[in-house]
Each structure stands twice: as structure tokens, then as C-alpha cells.
Structure 1
Amino acid sequence: MWFSGKRFRRTRCENIDELLAATNANEHIVRMLKVKAPVVCYTAVDGDTIKLDLDIDGKKILSHIFKLGEEQEMEKKDGNKVKMTYSLEGENTLKQVIKMPDGKTAYFVREFTDNDVKMTVTMDGTDLSATIYYDVVQ
């Protein structure tokens, strides 16, 4: 994972409002996505284990360790539990599948380049997709 340890800050979004509206997303999450520019970092722990850190305004709001290819349960701040599975395709594409408590599934595809990340988000039950762009933070 050549992008291990690099930090990426969100710079812009396309169609995020439409996707969030169509999926009845939690208002706190919507507000956070619209107002704050999160910084994400994926760090290889060992061969197939990765640590995700998410910071907003310099404060760590999430740290999660996951094993590629294994479904894991994670409790959200609102108490609901989601099931997530990550997979790595090639050297630059990290895929994530999140199964929500309501039975819907969200799909995240992160494509890493030397200087940025393009993340495409789709949800069951809608034809919409959103694209979120991140740049490397030095």
C-alpha cells in the first residue's frame, strides 16, 4: 500500500447533497460533511490489516482498525451498528461496502494517485452517485 501513512484532506464534492437527500442521512453527518473538511489517513499495520484515522479540525473523531476481506461490525455514535468490508484492488483502489441497519448498502470506491484521492459513493435504492475529492496534506 504505497499510500500508507499519507494524509488526505477533502477539497470538493460533486452530487453529495442529492445523494444524502435521497438516502435520508443523519443530519449531524450531513452538517459535518458540508461544513468541515475531514482529513483521512490509511496506515498499513501488517499485510492485510489497515488502520483508518479521521480528523476534523485537528481532532481525531474516528480511529478504526480493519482486516481486508473480513466483514466487521462497527458501532456508530448514534448507537446503530453497521457491517463493513474493505478490499484492496491492485495498488491504488480501496473498496468499502457498508451494510446499514435499515438493510441498505453503501459502496465506497477510493482511487489513490500520487497527490489525491477520488472517492465515488453509491447507495442501494438510488441511481445517484457522489464523488468526493481529497488532496495530499503535507
Structure 2
Amino acid sequence: MWFSGKRFRRTRCENIDKLLAATNVNEEIVRMLKTKAPVVCYTAIGNNSIKLDLDVDGKHTLSHVFKLGEEEEMEKKDGNKVKMTYSLEGENILKQVIKMHDGKKACFVREFMDKDVKMTVTMDGTDVSATIYYEIVQ
């Protein structure tokens, strides 16, 4: 994974407003997606695990290690639990599927290119998708 240890910052979004409106997402998530540009870093740990680090407003806000191909349960800030599965498709596509407490799924497909990342977001219950772009900052 060439992107291991590299840091990426969101630069722009396409269709995010339509996707958020169609899915009735939590207001905190809407605010974060629209106003903050987090820096994300994925670091390979061995052959089967990846560590995610997330910085928002220059502060380290999240660090999580996950095993590829294994479903994990996580508790959100609001107390609801979600199940998440990450998978690596080839050398440059990281897929994340989140199963919400109501049974709906959200899918985040990150395609790591030479100097940037294109993330496509889809959610059950809508045919709308959004694309979020990140650029390398390190």
C-alpha cells in the first residue's frame, strides 16, 4: 500500500448536499462534512491490519486499528452502535462498509491515486452518491 503513512486533507466535495438530504444524516455529521477538512492517515500494520488516524482542526481526534475483512462493532458518540468492515481491493482501493443500527448500509470507496484520493459515498435507500476528494499533505 503506497499510501501507508501518508496524510490526506479533504479539498472538495461533489453532490454531498444531495446525499445528506436524501439520507437524513445526524446534524453533527453534516456540520463536520460541510465545515471541517479533516486530515486522515492510513498506516499498514503487518499484512492484515490498518491504523486510521484522524485530525480535525489540528487536533488528533481519533485513532483506530481495524483488521481487513473482519466486521467490527463501534459505538458512536450518540451511543448508537454500527458495524464496520474494511477491505483492500488491489493495492489502491480501500472499501469501508458501515451497517447502521437500523440495518441500512453506507459504503465508502477510497481510490488512492498518485497524489490524491477520490472517495465515493453511497447509502442504502437512495440512488444518490457523493464524491469527496483529498490531496496529499505530507
Q: TM class by shorter-chain length?
A: over 0.9
Q: Distance in 2 between matches of 1:80 and 1:54?
A: 20
Moved more, 57-66 or 114-123: 57-66
Residue of structure 1 equivalent to 2:33: 33
Runs of 4+ in 1 over 6 A off after TM superposition: none
TM-score by length of 1: 0.98
**1:102: Cα distance to partner?**
1.3
Give the aligned residue type for 2:64.
Answer: H
Q: Deviations over 1:104-128 (max 9, x none)?
A: 1001100001200000000011000
Q: Distance in 2 between matches of 1:24 and 1:102?
A: 13
Q: Distance in 2 between matches of 1:17 and 1:55?
A: 23
Q: Distance in 2 between matches of 1:30 and 1:43?
A: 27
Residue of structure 2 equivalent to 1:69: 69
Residue of structure 2 equivalent to 1:3: 3
Q: Deviations over 1:8-53 (max 9, x none)?
A: 0000000101111111111011011111101100001111100001
| Match status 1:100 vs 2:103 | no
Aligned residues: 138
Q: Distance in 2 between matches of 1:17 and 1:127?
A: 14
User: Residue 30 of structure 2 aligns to a residue in which SS?
Assistant: helix
User: Residue 86 of structure 2 aligns to a residue in which SS?
Assistant: strand
Q: Distance in 2 between matches of 1:3 and 1:65?
A: 16
Residue of structure 2 equivalent to 1:13: 13
Q: Distance in 1 between matches of 2:24 and 2:62?
A: 22
Residue of structure 2 equivalent to 1:57: 57
Residue of structure 2 equivalent to 1:135: 135
Unpaired runs of 5+ residues, structure 1, are none
Q: Deviations over 1:56-89 (max 9, x none)?
A: 1111121111000000001111111100000001
Give the aligned residue type for 2:10.
Answer: R
Unpaired runs of 5+ residues, structure 2, are none
Give the aligned residue type for 2:105.
Answer: T
Give the aligned residue type for 1:79.
Answer: G
